[in-house]
Amino acid sequence: MTEEGADRADGRFGPGSHLLVTGGAGFIGSCFVRDILGRRDGTQITVIDKLTYAGNRANLAPVEADAEQAGRLRFVVGDIADPAVVGPLVADAEAVVNFAAESHVDRSIHDPEAFLVTGVIGVHVLLEACRREAARAAGGERPAAPRFLQVSTDEVYGSVETGHSREGDRLEPRSPYSAAKAAGEILARSYHVTHGLDVVVTRGSNTYGPYHHPEKLIPLFITNAIDDRPLPLYGDGLQRRDWLHVADHAGAVEHVLRFGRAGEVYNVPGEAELPNRQVVERLLDLLGKPWSLVRRVEDRPGHDRRYALDGTKLRALGWRNRMSFETGLAATVDWYQANEAWWRAARSGDWDTYYERQYGARLAGSAQAARE
């Protein structure tokens, strides 16, 4: 093994293992599931997903359409905060990869409760199940304790005006979403310290790519622009995000699962930091649509100005991203153009109610955004 800092045998959680993936019908979780099962290496995956508005079984359609892959997937509709559902699933698994969360900052401003229930109580329920399995392993009832990987976010560092956040930096979350994410990962790490659980944490950057729910910046602006609808840019649009392709995020999570050191946190940067305005310009160029669609709207309350991660620790573990932002963004635009049925379905149900609450008043009082 060449990875510096790795403390696990290369084979653990590799081909043939059995993983429990929570939130596996969401954006990043489904990519993780598709990519691993698509390798046809014998790995079995159980997904537990509550199928909230953001969860979509169609995200796993490529797996379910392939008999060999479908045979290695078990899909359970359930809540990670429900111990009766979670217990037996963790008992069957060698590792738990926790993607499940409410993930949209804007929704956390209006309705924070579900963020806390899933992000804190849900994590607690999963950890208690892992603790029971660790005790069974200590008693010789299973070969090893399960590893628990908590998928966290760069937002736990809060807004970073200059420089790049390192894993030991202070956590200063500033939205209900990021506060719940910080609480969840701190709880997970406390189980490592107090109970000796095998816990690892990843903190990923802003992720983009196919199957991304259209409430988020990139898919919202692509799908609105396809329909020639206004693009609501918050404030001056100079907030900066670091963009990470979903396949690289999922790949890095798997790498940390296999090679990360117990008790450690790993940043997962995209290494593509841009102001929102530039992202929008690139999208419009790719779509052949005019800047006149862009509206300057009232800013998000508490809007973090910038996130930026230092990726030294993950690089030392042997991980390299594979997708450039230029290639990834162009492929993402192509995907939305080719998969209109998928995103139109995601923009149905309570979408219009959500959209009106989030953007109705903002757009009514908006002006075309100046191009700088």
Selected from 43, 44, 69, 206, the binder of ligand NAD by CB under 6 A is 206
CB atoms within 10 A of CB 21: 27
Q: Output the six-digit token pair for 59.
A: 């995200």
230 binds ligand DAU (CB under 6 A): no
151 interacts with, out of ligand NAD, ligand DAU, none, CB within 5 to 8 A per kind:
ligand NAD
103 binds ligand DAU (CB under 6 A): yes
Instruction: Point out which residues pair with 76 in neighbouring strands.
Output: 48
Q: Indicate the residue among 211 and 259 with the shorter CB distance to ligand NAD.
A: 211
Is 155 considered catalytic here?
yes
Give which of 293, 241, 98, 270 is closest to 180, Cα–Cα: 98
Q: Indicate the residue among 247 and 293 with the shorter CB distance to ligand NAD.
A: 247
Calculate the CA 43 to chain-centre distance.
21
From residue 59 to residue 98, the character string flagging contacts with ligand DAU as x (rule: CB under 6 A) and all else as - is ----------------------------------------
73 interacts with, out of ligand DAU, ligand NAD, none, CB within 5 to 8 A per kind:
none
Distance separating alpha carbons of residues 55 and 57, to the nearest angstrom: 7
Query: What torsion do the CA atoms of 123, 129, 130, 131 make, to the nearest 10 degrees?
Result: 110
Show contacts of 347-353: CB within 8 Å, 24+ apart.
347/214, 347/223, 349/53, 350/53
Report 133-162 residues binding ligand DAU (CB under 6 A): 153-155
Selected from 17, 108, 118, 358, the binder of ligand NAD by CB under 6 A is 118
Ordered strands of the 294-297 beta sheet: 231-234, 294-297, 367-368
206 binds ligand DAU (CB under 6 A): yes
Q: DSSP letters of 100-117?
A: -S---HHHHHH--HHHHI
Question: Exposure string (b/e) for 259-278, b if CB count within 10 Å is 16 or more?
Answer: bbbebbbbbbbbbbbbbbbe
| Binding segment (CB under 6 A) for ligand DAU, from list 112-120, 226-234, 331-339, 347-355 | 226-234
Measured CA distances, 214 to 11, 82, 217, 225, 306 (Å): 37, 28, 8, 12, 22
Q: Indicate the residue among 191 and 211 with the shorter CB distance to ligand NAD.
A: 211
267 binds ligand NAD (CB under 6 A): no
Selected from 46, 205, 223, 321, the binder of ligand DAU by CB under 6 A is 205
Is 198 considered catalytic here?
no
Give the binding-site size for ligand NAD (rule: CB under 6 A): 31
Distance separating alpha carbons of residues 155 and 183, to the nearest angstrom: 12
Nearest-approach distance from CB 342 to ligand NAD, in angstroms: 13
Q: DSSP letters of 43-90?
A: -EEEEEE---TT--GGGGHHHHTSHHHHTTEEEEE--TT-HHHHHHHH
Q: Is 287 helix (H, G, I), strand (E, B) or coil?
A: helix
Is 177 considered catalytic here?
yes
Catalytic residue among 94, 102, 106, 154: 154
Selected from 29, 146, 270, 311, the binder of ligand NAD by CB under 6 A is 29
Interface with ligand DAU (CB under 6 A): 103-105, 153-155, 205-206, 216-217, 220, 232-234, 239, 241, 276, 300, 307
Interface with ligand NAD (CB under 6 A): 22-23, 25-29, 48-52, 54-55, 79-81, 99-103, 118, 122, 151, 153, 181, 204, 206-207, 213
Q: Hey, which residues are catalytic here?
A: 154-155, 177
